[in-house]
Amino acid sequence: MTYISGFVAAVPAGNKAEYVEHAKKSWPIFKKYGALRMVETWGDEVPDGKVTSFPMAVKLTDGETVVFSWIEWPDKAASDACMSSMQTDPEWEALGDMPFDGKRMIFGGFEALLDCSAGEA
């Protein structure tokens, strides 16, 4: 089974195009370190919660949208190697600043337990 790096962030709505461009530029670097797939999603129906929610988790403010993203890796070792490279590989610095407040980004690594597709019974 694969390993997943998941991310949730609050992105200013006006930075959507800049966010997409930044993600596109980062894909070749993730791929270089073994990423199999990268998915970026822009919040469409992300309700406020009473106890917990995506907006609460990222301290969403007016004019921002929740972004939910994940990167699929062949294994944890590939993910770890890529994340470590962010401190040493100059390609990461060349991307420039992220178009959102990275301090409010939530991220984590996840071991896949089940992987189903629409074609399966």
- At 73, which helix (H) or strand (E)? strand 64-73
pLDDT tens per residue, range 58-111: 999 999 999 999 999 999 999 999 999 999 999 999 999 999 999 999 999 999
What is the value of pTM for the model shown? Answer: 0.91
Residue 115 lies in a domain: no
Residue 114 lies in a domain: no
pLDDT exceeds cutoff 70 at 23? yes
Residue 119 lies in a domain: no
Q: Which residues of 29-51 are buried (b: 16+ CB within 10 A; e: fewer)?
A: bbeebebeebebeebeebeeeee
Residue 112 lies in a domain: no
Residue 98 lies in a domain: yes
Q: How far apart (Å, rounded) are the C-alpha atoms in residues 58 and 17?
A: 20
CATH number of the domain enclosing 96: 3.30.70.100
28-31 contact pairs (CB < 8 A, 24+): 29/82, 29/89, 29/91, 29/92, 29/95, 30/71, 30/82
Into how many domains does the chain fold? Answer: 1
Q: Which domain holds residue 68?
A: 3-104
Residue 111 lies in a domain: no
Per-residue pLDDT, averaged over 10-36, amounts to 97
pLDDT exceeds cutoff 70 at 121? no
Residue 113 lies in a domain: no
Residue 117 lies in a domain: no
